[in-house]
Structure 1
C-alpha cells in the first residue's frame, strides 16, 4: 500500500508509474483505492463509476478498469456532504459527520473487492487517501491504516519535498501513529525533488534513523506529469505554462466542477490555450470559445455562475459572435429551464437556465452511466466517450444534435450555430473529432492524444525504475525482510 504524508503528494502518479513498471516486467498488476473522493469519475464497461486516477492506473497496468479498483467513491455535492458510490452505484447521500459514523459499514464491501483483485493478480498496488497522520479519522477508517490492518498488508509512505518540510512530515507521521500502525510502514520515498537527488542522502539517513523505515529512493520532479489526466482541478490552473495559443478557450471553474478531464486533450494541443476562469474573475472578451463544464450539482453551480456575473459575460460573448459549449451539467445550464421535481439534487422546484439553448431539462432520480461509441454528425468522424448524468433534455435545438450513438441522437445546437451542448464526456479524446472541432476555428490538431498518454506512462515507469528500489517494493509486498 502506498500512503502519503498528505494529500497531493503524488500517490496517484507513483502508483500509476509502478503499475506500468511492474506490468512491463510481466507481472499481472491491479491498482486499488479503497476510498476515493473526487467528482472526476470514469465509467467502467459495466456502467459503474470509479475515480479517474484508478482509470489511469488500470490503463498503466494494461488491464480493464473495474469497479473493484475503487469500491467506495465520494462525490462532493456541497461543502459538507457527498454522494457515496459503492461498487460503482449510488449507495447514499450523506453529510460528512454521517459518513464518518457509517463508513465502517463499507469495510466488508472494500475487502470483497480487494479479495477479487487479489485472485486475478500477481501484485495489487493500493493507494491511500490523504494521510494516515490524521489520527482523528482513524476510528472506522477504510482508506489508510484501517484498511491496511483489515487486509494485513505492508505500507510504503510518500513524502513530497517540493512543498518543503519533508523530514518533519515523515518523522511527524511516525511520531503520531499508534505503534501497530507505525510498524506497518516498512519504507518511505521522497517525491518531486528538484536538482541533484544525491544532495538529499543525509536527509534519507536521518529519516531512516528516526523512523526505522527503509529508504526506497528519491524521485526527481517528473515534468511530463502535466500531460497525464489530472484527478484534481488544480492541475488545470497551470495548464499552459503561460503560452499564448491561436485558439483561446475559457473554462469556468464551477464550485462543484466534475469530469474536467474532458479538457485534457485540448490542453495537449500546441495551438490551444486553456484559461481556467476562477471565481472573482471575468471571462476575457478576446477568448474564442467558452466551455461550461460538467457539474456534480447543476442547479447550485448555476446559482454560483450567476453570482459571479458569468451569465452576463456569456451573453456578451455570444453577441460578439463567440462560441459556447456546455458539457453535461454545463449543457443543462445553457437551456431555458431546469426542473427537479423529485429533489434529486436538493429542494424540489424549477429554475430558469441561461436561455442560450432552446431546450429544457428535467432532473430524474435515475443516473445514466455508460460507455458510448458513435459518430459526429457534422463530419462523420468516429467518437467514443461516456455518459454520467441525471436527467433528460428536450427542445427545439435538440433537432440539431451533435452525435449519434447506437441509433439515438445526443446534444443540441442553437439556430445560429454559436451555442452547443452534449451529455457525452470524453469526445475530445477522439483524435478525428478533436481535429474536426479545431478546424472550425482554423486551428490544426498536432497530437495523437491516447498514444501520447501511453508514451508518458512508459516514460514515468522508466523514471521510477531509475530512481526507486523496485526490488525492495516487491520484497515488501511478499512480506520478505531486506
Structure 2
C-alpha cells in the first residue's frame, strides 16, 4: 500500500504553507501515522545539512522534526539558492548541479521533475502519509508551463490540495477566490478546502464571509487558525517580521542584513534570549551602538562584501572595534573578515578577487566542491561544547587559523580568534542553537547573565502548539479522511 498524499498550497508567499505542513505532520504523528514532509522545489537561502550528506531547505528540516525524523534529501529534492536577481545555484538531491538563470532552469525543469518524482516514489513507498508543501502560489500563470512546484506536481501524482491564505495581510477572500479563478478546471477540482491563517479578532464577525466563500466556491473552509504569537520556528527564507522591543536587554547584537544573507535562522536563539536585543540592520540604516556585530553567511560573499562597503558599514565596524566592541563572522562573514576572498572559477559570480576587511590573517578561495557536514566539538576559547553544520565552498588559509574558534571531534579545527580577542570567525551554522555555546559566546560578547536558552526545546514546544491548533481549529474529520490509513 502506498502513502496518502495531501498537498498544501498558498495564495501568496508566506501565507503559512510551511507552518501548516509542520502542524499537520505533528498532528498526524500523534494519530499514529508514519508521516513524512515533502517540498518538490524550494527557493531559499536558509538550508540544512541532511543525515545523508546533502542540503535541503530549513523548513523541511523543521517539518522532519515534526515527524520525528532525521532530515533527508528526499524531503526537498530540488533547492534553488539565489545568487543574483536573475540566477540561482540549482541543488538536486542535496548537491549542486549548476548555476542557472531563469531561462536555463526552465529548460532544465524536465530533469528536475525526474528527481522530484524519484523522491516522491521513495517516500510514498516508505510512509503511511506524505504532506507536501507547494511554493509561492499556484496562480502564477507565467510559471504554469513545466511547473514542478505546485499544481504540476499535484496533477502528476493526483493528490488533493488545501489552499491557505493569510488574513493578516488583508484581502483574504479575494486571494482565495482569485487563486481558484486562475486555475485550470482540473486543478480547481482538486482543491478540497481552504484554511485561513493568522486570524485575530471575533470569529463571529468573520463567519458571514466564510459562509459566502463556501457557497460561492462549493468548497469547505476547514477552519481558521489564530495568530499564534511567540512561535520559535525557523523561517523558510524571509527575515523575521518586525523587531522585538527589548530595549532594556543587557546586550545589543546587530546583524547586517546582506542582500544574499544565508541561514539567518542562525540567530533565532539570540532573538529568543531575554537578555539579548537583536537588530537586523538594512540598507541605508546606520549600525547603532552595540556590544556585538555578527557578519552572517552569504550566498554571494564578494558581492555582499562590496554592498557592505557601499553602505559604509566597514567604517562603522572599524569604529565599533576601536571602542572595544566584538565582531563575529559566520561562514561568508568569516571569509569577509580575512584579507581577501578569491573566486577564480566564478562559482558565486564573476571570476575575480576582493579585498577583505582585514581583521583576521587569512584568505579564502572558493572551490567547486561544496563542504556539507554536521559537526560537533569544543570551543577553543571556553569550556563549552558546540555543534552545528557546514555549508560552504570556501577554503580558508592563513596564520589566524592557528588560533582556532573550535576544535572539532573529527580532528579538524574551525575558524579563528584574533590575538586581541575582539574578532572571531567560524564556518559553523547553527552554533547558537547549542545552549553551552550560546552562553559562552554571549559571555565573550560581554553578557554575564547565566540565563539558559535552548532554541531546540523552544522549537519542539512550538511544533506542539501548532498541532494543538490543528486539533482545536480545523476540521479533523476531513483531515482524517485524507491522511489516516483506514482499516
Name whichever of 54-63 and 91-100 sits farther off. 91-100
Match of 1:238 among 229, 238, 242: 242
More deviation, 90-99/65-74: 90-99
Matches within 5 A, 1:294-373: 294-373=297-376
Q: Show CA shifts across 1:416-445 (max 9, x none).
A: 110110111111111111112222312333
What SS does the corresponding residue of 2:163 show, helix, strand or coil?
strand
Task: State the Cα deviation string for residues 38-85 of structure 1 (Å, max 9, x = none).
Answer: 010000012100000000000011111100000000000000100010
User: How is 1:150-165 mapped onto 2 (pairs within 5 angstroms)?
Assistant: 150-165=156-171
- 1:228 matched to 2:233? The reply is yes
Indicate if the aligned counterparts of 1:293 and 1:330 stay in contact, CA closer than 8 A: yes
TM-score (norm 2): 0.95
Aligned to 2:204: 198
Structure-2 residue corresponding to 1:145 = 151
* Residues 131-173 of structure 1: per-residue CA shift (max 9 Å, x gap): 1111221110000000000111110100111111111111111
Q: Deviations over 1:258-308 (max 9, x none)?
A: 011110111111000101110101111x20000000000101111111111
- 1:239 Cα deviation from its structure 2 partner: 4.2
Instruction: Indicate conservation of the 8 Å contact 1:104/1:141, yes or no.
Output: no
Two-structure CA RMSD over aligned residues (Å): 1.5
Gaps of 5+ in 1: none
- Using the TM superposition, give the Cα deviation of residue 457 of structure 1 relative to its aligned residue in structure 2, in angstroms: 1.0
Match of 1:270 in 2: 274
Q: Could you say which residue in structure 1 is the equivalent of 2:108?
A: 102
Question: What is aligned with 1:466?
Answer: 472
Contact 2:297 2:332 in 1 (8 A): yes
Q: Deviation per CA, 1:160-188: give whole Å up to 9, x if none.
A: 11111111111111112110111110111
How big is the shift at 1:231?
A: 2.1
**Displacement after TM superposition at 1:242 (Å):** 5.0
Alignment of 1:341-420 (within 5 A): 341-405=344-408, 406-420=410-424
Q: 1:449, CA displacement in angstroms? A: 2.1
Structure 1 segments, 4+ long, off by >6 Å, are: none
The alignment status of 1:250 with 2:250, answered yes or no, reads no
How far apart, CA to CA, are the structure 2 residues paired with 1:217 and 1:57? 21
CA distance in 1, matches of 2:206, 2:84: 42
Partner of 1:437: 441
Aligned to 1:79: 85
Q: 2:284 aligns with which of 280, 287, 307?
A: 280
Please tell me whether the aligned partners of residues 28 and 483 of structure 2 are also in contact (alpha carbons under 8 angstroms): no
Question: Runs of 5+ in structure 2 lacking a partner?
Answer: 1-6
Cα distance between partner residues in 2 of 1:348 and 1:30: 41
The alpha-carbon deviation at position 461 of structure 1 amounts to: 0.8
TM-score (normalizing by structure 1)? 0.96
Query: Contact 2:80 / 2:90 at 8 angstroms: preserved in 1?
Result: yes
CA distance in 1, matches of 2:76, 2:34: 18
- 1:200-249 per-residue CA deviation (whole Å, 9 max, x = no partner) reads 22111111111121110111111132x222223421x5242454321100
1:48-87 matches, within 5 Å, as 48-87=54-93
* Residue 184 (structure 2) pairs with residue 181 (structure 1): no
Tell me, in whole angstroms, the C-alpha distance in 2 between the residues paired with 1:42 and 1:454.
17
Q: Is the 8 A contact 1:37 1:73 kept in 2?
A: yes
